[in-house]
């Protein structure tokens, strides 16, 4: 290994001064001659049939340039993760016959100013016939729930299964061998990524027939590829420029503003900006999804977990966004950093008539850790055991196999517990004070530490 001189030192960050003195150029700082602004007409109700959309009053607003509906979108139905083979397509860029959440885009107005676009958008008349809504994930799976998806269910299908399954060992046998069964239901809340900079893009038609898209996406190529497919322009005709973002936290991985801005630029020939207001950022941009998790652990008298069964429901809201991916990630983490010999996990991606949820820091893992650590304390407290010792007793070590059948390679949980115990002045029994994640190191001369 080469000598490390810079890595490991606190080199002053290069863009910090620019950020705090206002010198950094974000999307909204860019200006172009004839820049137009886009604002979206949104559904006022969570679930409805669209009977008619009338833009005639909007067209009379001073500064109005054009209106877009689903008829203007070449490939209107998409799903972001089709780029990694997750499908089928199921979300419209602009709603067609039906809206499935309050705030769903129905039409877009392009105007000379943001103010004119907002005023014109407010004058678009949408005739809706409301349908029954379903907000709760478990109610959405009931047979009488209103169905949101073309394929006739309210869940994402994982290779023929209604949920992402993990099966390891024999969970029923484990429960029989257990001295105690510890069960609990856990629920997390949707929260806002709360970036300083709201989601924004400017699409600019170039004289050579290409489009330059300035964007604060977290993933330039993901946004480029999806935009090209939705707007039906060759990938090679798009240039995406970004790389500097005023806070992402997962809130800027959905491809929402770039396709509409590009479509509007293509239709009008003008550069077009589509920037979320703070209200849109909070109410229609995807929040962290809420998760409901039912845990059932079989535990021996001395606190060893011998079986774990989990049924969990991710509230995707009305559309996929990134939730099908997160549920798989979640399924690999509901066991936590512990050695679980028998496991059965059923993790559902459920659709409800709500604002679609999506990625946020800890996607799928944060709710799992919340539930797992609640269980660890519950096990300790119900059995009258020490909360630290229950964790040491169950901690995974390198060489163990997880419920998703991966051999553990970089385990260091035990070492963090030992250091934390020292930090808070807690004496550990010798067996835990000398324990190691590298259980083979003595007899195999493992030199990884």
Partner 1 sequence: MSKRRGTGLATVNYPTGMNLGGDPTQALIHSTTTGNFVVTLSSTDLGQGLKTAMAQIAADAMGVPVDNIIVDTGDTDTGPHCMGTFASRGTHRAGNAVIDAADEARDVLMEVAAEELEAAPSDLEPDGDGNIHVLGAPDRSISVMDAAMAAHFEQGRTISGRGIGFKPKSDVDPETGEMDPDSTEAHATVVTEVEVDTETGEVDVLTVKAVYEIGQMVNPALVDGQIIGGAWMGMAHALYETTDPYYPDIDHKPGSFGEYSLPGPSEVPDIEYEVLEIPSQTGPYGVKGIGEMSATPPIPAIVNAIKDAIGVQITEIPVTPEVVLRALEDEKESSEEPPVAENRDGGDEP
Of residues 395-434, those binding partner 1 (CB under 8 A):
395, 403-406, 408-413, 415-417, 419-420, 423-424
Query: Using CB under 8 A, which of 217, 273, 309, 320 touches partner 1?
Result: 217
Looking at residues 71 to 100 of the shown chain, list those that interact with partner 1 (rule: CB under 8 A). 84
Window contacting partner 1 (CB under 8 A); options: 113-121, 216-224, 262-270, 299-307: 216-224
Looking at residues 131 to 150 of the shown chain, list those that interact with partner 1 (rule: CB under 8 A). 135-137
Give the total of residues touching partner 1 (CB under 8 A). Answer: 121
Q: Is 389 in the site for partner 1 (CB under 8 A)?
A: no
CA distances from 167 to 177, 305, 402, 404 (A): 18, 16, 11, 8
Looking at residues 19 to 58 of the shown chain, list those that interact with partner 1 (rule: CB under 8 A). 19, 46
Shortest separation between residue 372's beta carbon and partner 1, angstroms: 8
Which residue blocks in 90-237 are alpha helix, DSSP H?
114-122, 137-140, 171-177, 220-231
293 touches 174 (CB < 8 A): no
Query: Using CB under 8 A, which of 53, 117, 166, 233 touches partner 1?
Result: 166
Looking at residues 104 to 133 of the shown chain, list those that interact with partner 1 (rule: CB under 8 A). none
300 touches 394 (CB < 8 A): no
Shortest separation between residue 117's beta carbon and partner 1, angstroms: 18
Enclosing H/E stretch for 262? helix 257-268
CA distances from 150 to 147, 298, 307, 343 (A): 8, 40, 37, 33
Looking at residues 312 to 331 of the shown chain, list those that interact with partner 1 (rule: CB under 8 A). 315, 325, 328-329, 331
Shortest separation between residue 70's beta carbon and partner 1, angstroms: 24
Q: Distance (Å, rounded) from C-alpha 336 to C-alpha 367?
A: 11
Shortest separation between residue 235's beta carbon and partner 1, angstroms: 9
Window contacting partner 1 (CB under 8 A); options: 88-96, 117-125, 153-161, 170-178: 153-161
Q: Is 372 in the site for partner 1 (CB under 8 A)?
A: yes
Query: Using CB under 8 A, which of 63, 118, 149, 158 touches partner 1?
Result: 158
In residues, how long is the chain? 449
Site mask, partner 1, residues 184-203, x = CB under 8 A?
xxxxxxxxx-x---------
Q: Distance (Å, rounded) from C-alpha 442 to C-alpha 358?
A: 45
Which residue's CB is nearer to partner 1, number 61 or number 299?
299
Query: Using CB under 8 A, which of 141, 174, 352, 400 touches partner 1?
Result: 352
Q: Distance (Å, rounded) from C-alpha 232 to C-alpha 225?
A: 10
Q: Is 351 in the site for partner 1 (CB under 8 A)?
A: no
205 touches 211 (CB < 8 A): yes
Shortest separation between residue 326's beta carbon and partner 1, angstroms: 8
Looking at residues 273 to 312 of the shown chain, list those that interact with partner 1 (rule: CB under 8 A). 278-279, 282-283, 287-288, 290
Query: Using CB under 8 A, which of 78, 156, 175, 240 touches partner 1?
Result: 240
81 touches 320 (CB < 8 A): yes
235 touches 225 (CB < 8 A): yes
Query: Using CB under 8 A, which of 35, 77, 365, 383 touches partner 1?
Result: 365
Window contacting partner 1 (CB under 8 A); options: 36-44, 105-113, 226-234, 371-379: 371-379
Closest Cα to residue 260, out of 28, 56, 68, 26? 68
DSSP 288: B
| Phi-psi map region of 338: left, alpha, beta (phi>0 left; psi -120 to 50 alpha) | beta
What's the CA angle centered on 298, arms 292 and 304, to 5 degrees?
115
């Amino acid at each position: 290994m080469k000598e490390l001189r810079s890595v490991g030192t606190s080199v002053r960050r290069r863009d910090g001064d620019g950020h705090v003195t206002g010198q950094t150029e974000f999307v909204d700082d860019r200006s172009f001659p004839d820049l137009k602004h886009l604002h979206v007409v949104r559904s006022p109700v969570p679930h409805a049939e669209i009977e008619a959309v009338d833009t005639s009053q909007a067209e009379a607003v001073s500064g109005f340039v054009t209106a877009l509906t689903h008829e203007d979108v070449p490939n209107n139905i998409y799903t972001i993760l089709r780029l990694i083979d997750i499908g089928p397509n199921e979300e419209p860029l602009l709603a067609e016959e039906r809206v499935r959440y309050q705030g769903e885009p129905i039409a877009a107005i392009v105007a000379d100013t943001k103010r004119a676009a907002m005023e014109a958008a407010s004058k678009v008349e949408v005739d809706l016939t409301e349908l029954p809504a379903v907000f709760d994930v478990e109610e959405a799976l009931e047979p009488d729930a209103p169905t949101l998806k073309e394929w006739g269910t309210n869940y994402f299908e994982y290779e023929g299964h209604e949920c992402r399954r993990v099966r390891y060992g024999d969970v029923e046998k484990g429960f029989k061998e257990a001295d105690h069964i510890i069960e609990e239901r856990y629920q997390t809340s949707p929260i806002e990524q709360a970036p300083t900079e709201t989601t924004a893009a400017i699409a600019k038609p170039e004289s050579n027939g290409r489009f330059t898209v300035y964007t604060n996406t977290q993933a330039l190529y993901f946004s480029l590829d999806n935009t090209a497919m939705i707007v039906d322009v060759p990938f090679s005709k798009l240039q995406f420029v970004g790389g500097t973002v005023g806070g992402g936290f997962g809130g800027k991985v959905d491809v929402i503003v770039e396709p509409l801005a590009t479509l509007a630029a293509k239709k009008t020939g003008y550069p077009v900006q589509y920037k979320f207001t703070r209200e849109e950022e909070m109410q229609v941009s995807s929040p962290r999804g809420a998760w409901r998790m039912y845990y059932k652990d079989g535990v021996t008298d001395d606190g060893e977990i011998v079986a774990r069964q989990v049924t969990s429901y991710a509230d995707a809201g009305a559309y996929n966004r990134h939730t099908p991916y997160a549920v798989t990630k979640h399924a690999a983490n509901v066991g936590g950093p512990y050695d679980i010999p028998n496991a059965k996990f059923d993790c559902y991606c459920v659709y409800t008539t709500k604002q679609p949820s999506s990625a946020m820091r800890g996607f799928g893992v944060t709710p799992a850790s919340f539930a797992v650590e609640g269980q660890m304390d519950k096990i300790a407290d119900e059995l009258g055991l020490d909360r630290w010792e229950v964790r040491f007793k169950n901690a995974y070590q390198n060489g163990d196999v997880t419920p998703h059948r991966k051999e553990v390679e970089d385990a260091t949980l035990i070492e963090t517990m030992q250091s934390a115990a020292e930090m808070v002045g807690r004496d550990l029994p010798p067996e835990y004070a000398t324990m190691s994640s590298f259980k083979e190191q003595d007899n195999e001369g493992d030199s990884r530490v």
